[in-house]
Chain A
Amino acid sequence: MLGRLLPRSIRLWLMFLIIVGISHIVTTFWLASGSSTTDFRALVTGLPSNRFSLLETLTPETQRLPFMIPESHYAVCPFDTSNGRVLLDVRLEDVGWILSLHAPDGTVIYYAPGAADRETNLKLVLKPPGGRFLGLPVGGVGPGPEIPEVQLESPKGVAILRVPLYGLSYAALAVNALKQSSCREVLSPRLRTADRPAR
């Protein structure tokens, strides 16, 4: 109906613009559905789950991801909450230190930079997606402080702890601090028994 009311040239221009728009949208979504998960896999390949692993000093040969900030040490924990919550216990000793949690698609779930001139002791509980009961909150029984929980949208992800190199003399100190960071599964009481699923 509308087509018959409009002159042919305007109809052609409209059709042209619609095709341009559709092709623009399709291409954009195709590019957006790209390869962040490939990067995630490249980072966690060969690393144990629910444990921090110290990566080799960053060089062109050891670089696992594009655009990794150099002059830093990295500790990486590929976490998996399929069997229960995961507890992260990290110490951010100084400014420049960063803890970041990423979903497999590269999305940042959480990040915390260190503060100047004081240590930040950071404890986080990573909760798997869904509302299943996984026991009482960690540290929540009794008067002690409850540990903050991060609700995940995907059971897997990666925690990256980055420590800048202030200079070569600080390297051993940084490595030592990274080694003290922990990332471990917190099993619910029910799962601690023989019901624990086989791996």
Chain B
Amino acid sequence: MAVSSQPASGYRAGLRRLWQILKSLFARVAFFATAITIGMTSSWFSVHRGLPFNTETFGPWVAWHFAGQSASEPYTRGRFAMSGGLPLSGDRIVRLEARFDDDGRRLHSSCVYEVSGQMIDARWWTLAAFDSAGRLIPNEAQRYGWNTATTALGADGRFSILLGRDAHSGNWLPTGAAGRMVVIFEIQEPAVIPADTNSEESAIKPPSIKRISC
């Protein structure tokens, strides 16, 4: 009997040893995988959303300080390599980007938004809507954006642009079936540049983006 039980206990010990090795291996793999995933995800978010040192936010709008600049840091370079395009930025051109409305909800073509504000103290501005890949949104009206010259102002000097699928009177920017949207607001030669905005009075006041209906 003793002779026959010896291989069985050796077999069990071997299994136990194998289980411990697998457990240790799994713990190591999980350890490395978790660390790598956190590192990659934090990088993706930093590149996609920006960080306080390379972006400035004005409500739902985000300006990337170093877009297109030769000395730009890797987050900004990564951001524009991902989103594409040849961005222009500098002290004479400010490009603001919005992916969310004033309440932090993702902009979507199934909703109607009102982009409104005081006339910007700048030589020129353009507002345009794109799908999430940066493509213009096809529409029968062939209207893809509004600018200083084409936007009709209200009696109080304010402007209001409606973004939505269905036609509206006034400044209507069709959003078709774009799905998630990005709105770009480009300001040329603003009276104040974002880097100089230390006080509330002097800061650029980009328009608000309010969801009207969905």
Contacts and interface: CB of A to CB of B under 8 A. Distances in A.
Interface string B16-56: 00000000000000011011101110111011000000000
Interface residues of B, number: 58
Contacts of A72: 126
A71 B150 contact: yes
A10 interface: no
Interface in A7-43: 12, 16-17, 19-29, 31-36, 39-40, 43
A113 B142 contact: no
Interface stretch (A55-63, A77-85, A124-132, A142-150): A55-63
Contact of B88 (A70, A98, A103, A158): A98
A24 B70 contact: no
A153 B70 CA distance: 10
B181 interface: no
Contacts of A115: 123
Given A71-B128, A96-B148, A28 B43 contact: yes
A35 B80 CA distance: 9
Contact of A19 (B35, B82, B93): B35
B106 to A, nearest CB: 18
Given A23-B40, A69-B128, A69-B186, A39 B85 contact: yes
Interface stretch (B6-14, B130-138, B161-169): B130-138
B173 to A, nearest CB: 10
B197 interface: no
Interface of A is mostly: mixed
B189 interface: yes
Contacts of A108: 68-70, 86-90
**Interface extent on A, as a size class?**
35 or more
Contacts of A16: 31, 34-35
A23 B35 contact: yes
A20 B68 contact: no
Nearest to A27: B43
Contacts of A102: 68, 86
Given A19-B35, A65-B84, A106-B80, 12 more contacts: A17-B35, A27-B43, A28-B75, A28-B78, A29-B74, A59-B144, A69-B145, A71-B147, A95-B188, A98-B93, A100-B88, A116-B123
Q: Report the 5 A-B pairs with minimum CB-CB distance, sorted nearest first.
A: A66-B134, A23-B39, A34-B81, A70-B144, A31-B78
Interface of A: 12, 16-17, 19-29, 31-36, 39-40, 43, 58-60, 63, 65-72, 95-96, 98, 100, 102-103, 106-109, 111, 113, 115-116, 153, 158, 160, 164-167
Interface of B: 31-32, 34-36, 38-40, 42-44, 46-47, 68-70, 72, 74-75, 77-78, 80-90, 92-93, 123-124, 126, 128, 130, 133-138, 142, 144-150, 182, 184, 186, 188-189
23 contacts: A17-B35, A19-B32, A32-B78, A34-B82, A35-B84, A36-B77, A39-B85, A40-B86, A43-B86, A60-B138, A60-B144, A70-B144, A71-B145, A95-B123, A95-B188, A95-B189, A96-B148, A106-B80, A108-B88, A111-B90, A116-B123, A164-B149, A165-B150
